[in-house]
Structure 1
């Protein structure tokens, strides 16, 4: 990895170590509100998470080892990410530089054991981190979702040479994306592959096909691709995104989560080496009964982060509100019991959502405990899937309610496009729509009434 050249107040500087960088340097790079080395006063006056932006001038981050879940450096990084989240969303600035900061921190190695160079976090600790990152910027949290899904599957599997190679890449900072969906498949989440295929070629293969909903792949170093092997069996190839023939297209036009790169990935005659293909039956490929539980809880954790962000925006709105209605019961908004009640409800929603997500994450850790003891994982896997499915139903509702309550705090001025407060609802609604609640509630009800296990494909 080369050095990062940064510009600070019109001067060129070079960090003294590869993983050291100044917060304001990257703000200079990222935001169009900065020109000629001078920072917009409007921007610096925004109080999002860091109360005194002027104190950041001499602040540096140093990550000499992969960041730990509870490290103060990680929270400082998230605080910085939060500073520009609204502007990035409003102006549709793709956060390549932000992902590079996460790459340098080696956040993607949180779940890799310490003995293998990673952060050694439990799944509960991972989801605590995702809630915090979702609070800072839900787009960024969503971008790295598929990375942790792919890496968790590798971590479950035996340490073959190729699995060690991929984990080493993660420890060095690499991010993984995923390309699994084909729009031609009529039943979403079925795992069916129709048009992405390998053909044999001299000790390897050529890959051709196209995927959609490739969330995070636009920013990733590798992409895991679901495909058909030459004999028609399903498999996965892990491919460098810079390889010739790989095209990542930013054609996602959703009204929420606009920066996630959830678009098209096309593979045109891409060379695939034999050891880059993981067949579902390979000895070094271990699958859970419910292997989609982690990605589903991930989305719910991001929504939980959104509620925390809404709570902060709500309190800031009250503190900055210069006037109130003539028929209000208090002269100041901060003293109005109706506004206090609304903010209190948002706060309670945030607390409940976080408790629910972390309870579901505990269920995922119980699968790992059962595996370590040599016990059957199937019961723990079903229990974790049930917890995660129930969590989605409740937290989605709490998030959407909270993003609407925000507008009861500030009046009509909160709807100004410049405030961009509608991003909370847009993002929460998009995250919630990934798998509609009605299908989840029916599956839970069928289990409770008839003992019918949850579906074992995607979304559970």
Structure 2
């Protein structure tokens, strides 16, 4: 029997998120990946939160899920980010219901997590809906075998199953799901980014991996029946993680001011907590975190409307609205969050804030790394082109 799910808003889930947050600085200091924390999340069946309650899931709405992502981003953005591909995969199943989804739904209900292996750097344009792959699933005398190399494999270190995009045995595109511990699956720990160091965003290799007929998720075109703006979910997810980091930075700034014993001789207050300049700076940080959260949850509500309208004549217009709101949120939040964690946080902390033992630089490093997935300049240009000329947003991997 699967363990009881930890529902959104439950004391159990709040306690788990708090526990993850308490160890985040120590894990960063020790360069320790959160394997123990992921074991706890699997026990809580966090990966089933979006599945219906009557099926054994958590029944969470999209705003509820994104609020949790913000909470996790505040606690440890490595953990929050590493769950993104799982929730993206499940969301695809929810938005494209099919009788064949049953086995994958059952895995999620049991607490197992999915990773993804899609990106191949040989392709010159990132973010498009690729249907040609160097990774192959071929028929051999020993049966079907999977071979290839994928990059930016965020979360695969902690995944139980990996969704792989490949060239199928008949030459067309195919998606299959293989256990992460199957012989020949090699998940490298070679991610060397300046931030999000424990997301396992490195290389996944498949070397003569045995493939069963039951492993195939789909064969043929991968996106022909895809809902419009299918990528709004994963893009808004990244903005939610950044929002969580911003909220943590705001909290850290207030803690810094409270903990300081000395002030500058020319400061505006006798003590740091009485200094109106420091109060104003912390107020800006807190306000930015609040507005960022509101923007993400507003976009999440719009995305829920689009999701619920699947198959109706309203779906496309609602999906466009959700994509626009998610894009606008990213453009502003990325810029504000990077400045807040590179300037404001250190303005209130002085020399105390720049000590390596404080690990406050991790906030900017993590935000800068996440924001680089999809540069805000291109996003702002697309929004402006839409507002001025009515040009549709690109309907591919970044919107």
User: TM class by shorter-chain length?
Assistant: over 0.9
Specify whether residues 235 and 383 from structure 1 end up closer, same or farther in structure 2 by C-alpha distance, changes over 3 A only. Answer: farther
Other-structure match for 1:51: none
Shift of 1:282: 7.9
Deviation per CA, 1:399-436, whole angstroms, max 9, x where unpaired? 11221211011101210101110000000111111111
Find the residue that maps to 1:99 and give its secondary structure: helix
Say if 2:268 is the partner of 1:268.
Answer: no
Find the residue that maps to 1:415 and give its secondary structure: coil
CA contact (8 A) 2:95 2:310 kept: no
Say if 2:305 is the partner of 1:366.
Answer: yes
Shift of 1:86: 1.2
Say if 2:268 is the partner of 1:307.
Answer: no
Find the residue that maps to 1:206 and give its secondary structure: strand
CA contact (8 A) 1:180 1:211 kept: yes
2: CA distance, partners of 1:376 / 1:296: 22
Say if 2:113 is the partner of 1:175.
Answer: yes
Other-structure match for 1:6: none
Q: How many residues align?
A: 397
Shift of 1:280: 5.9
Q: 1:382-397 maps to which residues of 2 (within 5 A)?
A: 382-397=320-335
Q: Bigger CA drift: 64-73 or 147-156?
A: 64-73
Shift of 1:235: 2.2
CA RMSD across the alignment: 1.9
Q: 1:22-421 maps to which residues of 2 (within 5 A)?
A: 64-160=3-99, 162-192=100-130, 193-201=132-140, 205-279=144-218, 287-371=226-310, 374-404=312-342, 405-421=344-360
Unaligned runs of 5+ in 2: none
CA contact (8 A) 2:173 2:221 kept: no
Q: Bigger CA drift: 93-102 or 277-286?
A: 277-286
Shift of 1:171: 1.0
2: CA distance, partners of 1:112 / 1:269: 34
Shift of 1:156: 2.4
Find the residue that maps to 2:72 and give its secondary structure: helix
2: CA distance, partners of 1:101 / 1:375: 42
CA contact (8 A) 2:172 2:221 kept: no
CA contact (8 A) 1:223 1:241 kept: yes
Deviation per CA, 1:133-190, whole angstroms, max 9, x where unpaired? 1000001000100000011112223342x41111111111100011111111111112
Unaligned runs of 5+ in 1: 2-18, 20-63
2: CA distance, partners of 1:216 / 1:205: 26
Structure 1-normalised TM-score? 0.83
CA contact (8 A) 1:292 1:459 kept: yes
Shift of 1:229: 1.5
Shift of 1:191: 3.3
CA contact (8 A) 1:156 1:286 kept: no
CA contact (8 A) 2:129 2:223 kept: no
CA contact (8 A) 2:147 2:206 kept: yes
Shift of 1:91: 2.2
Specify whether residues 342 and 176 from structure 1 end up closer, same or farther in structure 2 by C-alpha distance, changes over 3 A only. Answer: same
1: CA distance, partners of 2:147 / 2:383: 39
2: CA distance, partners of 1:389 / 1:131: 17
Specify whether residues 284 and 308 from structure 1 end up closer, same or farther in structure 2 by C-alpha distance, changes over 3 A only. Answer: closer
Find the residue that maps to 1:371 and give its secondary structure: coil
2: CA distance, partners of 1:88 / 1:203: 43
2: CA distance, partners of 1:202 / 1:154: 33
Specify whether residues 109 and 196 from structure 1 end up closer, same or farther in structure 2 by C-alpha distance, changes over 3 A only. Answer: same
